[in-house]
């Protein structure tokens, strides 16, 4: 996408405060990242120690607002973005799952609570994995309606090969600045540089695609694939596209 991307005023992130971080931590679950502190331990840290817990939540909220409004040096956030890597057998193929640090998941969920409406509006009805209510049901009804039309002769299923893991980050982050500016700075700060993945005592780097296990991975994938989906009707004549 070309031109000048729209601006996003940072005031929209002022609602990310200690109270939101605390409630988000209570709804965060999962195993530990490289540091060894799982979601249960972070729930205790954020809720069980009165003033100290409040100060911790304030610090996480400040970090979230900074990541959403300013570009930060990637070297400053390496520890936050590091993940434990688990390779699941897709039979065939491998599905890499990154178990990130719990503070990253807490911050990401807090950011999503503020930007969810913008993400859904950006994805619209052509990409139904952006958190739209009853999106799967809507897709099923749309396909059923298409099948029942007299003029329908065939249906074409198009699957982008390994799109979740092969997504070009540079192109995706560039396009997201145009499609959903409110989430773009956060995604640029977390995905513009390779991140460390720890597996069996070794370190490899995640350079492309989104990190499965990151709460922001699905919104990033949803918005980044919008240009691809929009090009499909031009390639296949007289076709309704539902993703």
Q: Which residues of 189-207 are buried (b: 16+ CB within 10 A; e: fewer)?
A: bbbebebebbeeeeeeebe
| pLDDT confidence of residue 243 | 46
Least confident of 28-37, 103-112, 153-162: 153-162
Q: What angle do CA 203, 209, 214 make, to 5 degrees?
A: 75
Burial (0-12, 13-18, 19+ Cβ within 10 Å), 17: middle
Cα–Cα distance, 41 to 52 (Å, whole number):
15
Is residue 241 included in any domain, yes or no? no
Positive/negative CA dihedral, 224, 74, 79, 63: negative
Q: What is the pLDDT of residues 134-174, one digit of tens each?
A: 778 888 888 888 888 888 888 777 777 777 778 899 999 99
Is residue 83 included in any domain, yes or no? yes
Is residue 124 included in any domain, yes or no? yes
Instruction: State the residue range of the domain holding 74.
Output: 10-235
Q: For the chain, what is the radius of gyration of the CA atoms?
A: 19
Report, as an integer, the average pLDDT of 14-23. Answer: 97
Number of structural domains in the chain? 1
Is residue 1 included in any domain, yes or no? no
Cα–Cα distance, 184 to 68 (Å, whole number):
8
Query: What pTM did the predictor assign?
Result: 0.87
Round the average pLDDT of the chain to a whole number and report it: 88
């Amino acid at each position: 996408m070309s031109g000048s991307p729209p601006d996003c005023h940072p005031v929209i992130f002022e609602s990310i405060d200690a109270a939101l971080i605390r409630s988000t931590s209570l709804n965060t679950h999962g195993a530990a990242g490289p540091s060894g502190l799982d979601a249960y331990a972070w729930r205790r840290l954020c809720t069980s120690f009165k003033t100290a817990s409040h100060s911790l939540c304030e610090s996480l909220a400040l970090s979230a607002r900074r990541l959403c409004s300013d570009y930060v040096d990637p070297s400053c956030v390496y520890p936050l973005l590091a993940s434990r890597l688990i390779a699941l057998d897709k039979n065939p193929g491998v599905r890499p799952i990154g178990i990130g640090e719990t503070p990253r998941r807490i911050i990401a969920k807090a950011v999503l609570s503020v930007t969810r409406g913008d993400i859904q509006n950006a994805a619209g009805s052509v990409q139904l994995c952006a958190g739209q209510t009853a999106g799967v049901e809507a897709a099923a009804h749309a396909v059923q309606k298409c099948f029942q039309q007299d003029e329908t002769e065939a249906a074409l299923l198009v699957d982008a090969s390994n799109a979740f893991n092969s997504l070009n980050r540079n192109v995706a982050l560039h396009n997201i600045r145009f499609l959903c500016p409110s989430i773009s700075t956060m995604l640029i700060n977390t995905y513009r540089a390779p991140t460390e993945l720890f597996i069996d005592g070794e370190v490899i780097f995640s350079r492309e695609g989104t990190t499965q296990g990151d709460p922001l991975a699905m919104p990033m994938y949803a918005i980044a694939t919008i240009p691809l989906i929009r090009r499909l009707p031009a390639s296949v004549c007289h076709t309704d596209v539902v993703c």
